[in-house]
Structure 1
Amino acid sequence: MAYSIQIVVDSADPHTQADWWAETLGWETEPTDEGFIRNMVARGLAQESDTLLHRGKLMWKSGAAIRVVDDAEHREGPRILFQSVPEAKTVKNRLHLDVRAGDEDKAEVRARLESRGATFLWEASEGPYSWYTMADPEGNEFCIT
């Protein structure tokens, strides 16, 4: 039996992180169901303090997810969830994402991401392969390959 997975990233500001990564990967942020959220609050199953307005839309405060645009109707496709945590990032990631630049020039991708808040950390290579190790706006390492 094959399983689907989602990648979960601890975040100080999950909604901003989701927006940044959706733009970076060419994915989309999952739409919010404001009616459902309001219903949960009205029924006492959630509190107003569990919600926030982000880009003018009511959302759960605890997190935001992104997904592949072509997979908008399938909940089991690739998904990254950014969840709110109280503590700041303090050490190197044990897991990271590789952003595959494809036919694009890695240096151009790097410059574009730096202009949007990413930080260049170092360049490395192994045999014929090379990559840039970067950090997203919250300091999570990722590579451009």
Structure 2
Amino acid sequence: MAYDFQVVIDSVDPHPLADWWADALGWQVEAQDESFIRELIGKGHASEDDTTTHNGALVWKAGAAIRHPDGLERAPRVLFQLVPEPKSVKNRSHLDIRVGAGNIEAEVARLTARGAKELHRGRQGPNWWVTLADPEGNEFCVS
């Protein structure tokens, strides 16, 4: 039996990080249904402490998700999950953004202009990549 999955990235501020990654990948931040959130609060299933305001909308504090514009059939969902502590050690896994060798430098320039930090350049035979960190320090590669 095969299973679907989503990728989860811990974050101290999930909504801005979801916005950053949606821009980085050309994906979309999933909308959160404010009326549904208010309904759950009204029924006592959640509290105001479970929410925050982001870009003028009421959202769940615990996280934000992004998805490929073509939907989950194209790529798994990425969820940015609230955690209390900032990142402190190297990731054990990371995302690779594959843009093609001719586009790496331009994409690195675009992402660093938006807050990424260049960490390392690597090469293996004819293949090369640049390892960056997102605004919260999560490593990823552009190849």
**TM superposition score normalised by structure 2:** 0.95
Quickly say closer, same or farther: Cα 1:27–1:12, change in 2 above 3 A: same
Instruction: Name the residue aligned to 2:22.
Output: 22
String of CA shifts for 1:62-89, please: whole Å, max 9, x gaps. Answer: 0000001111xx5995100000000111
Which residue type is aligned with residue 10 of structure 1? D
Shift of residue 2, structure 1, vs aligned partner = 1.5
Conserved 8 A contact 1:119-1:136: yes
The answer as to whether partners of 2:131 and 2:142 remain within 8 angstroms in 1 is: yes
User: Is the Cα contact below 8 Å between 2:68 and 2:74 reproduced in 1?
Assistant: no
8 Å CA contact 2:51, 2:58 repeated in 1: yes
Gapped runs of 5+ residues in structure 1?
Answer: none
The aligned residue for residue 134 of structure 1 is: 132
SS of residue in 2 equivalent to 1:105: helix
1:77 and 1:97 mapped to 2: Cα distance? Answer: 12
Aligned to 1:59: 59
Taking the aligned partners of 1:52 and 1:91, their CA distance within structure 2 comes to: 28
Cα separation, 2, equivalents of 1:47 and 1:76: 35
Return closer, same or farther for 1:89/1:107 CA change in 2, 3 Å cut-off: same
Aligned residue in 2 for 1:91: 89
Distance 1:50 1:14 in 2: 14
Between the aligned partners of 1:18 and 1:54, the Cα distance in structure 2 is 11
CA distance in 1, matches of 2:74, 2:31: 15
Q: What is the aligned length? A: 143
CA shift digits 1:108-141 (9 cap, x unpaired): 1001000000000010100110000000000000
**Identical aligned residues as a percent:** 55
Residue 36 (1) aligns with residue 28 (2): no
C-alpha distance 7-49 of structure 1, shift in aligned 2 (>3 A): same
Q: Report how far residue 102 of structure 1 moved.
A: 3.0
Stretches of structure 2 lacking an aligned partner (at least 5 in a row)? none
Moved over 3 A (4+): 74-77
Say which of 111, 114, 137 aligns to 2:112: 114
- Normalised by the length of structure 1, the TM-score is 0.94
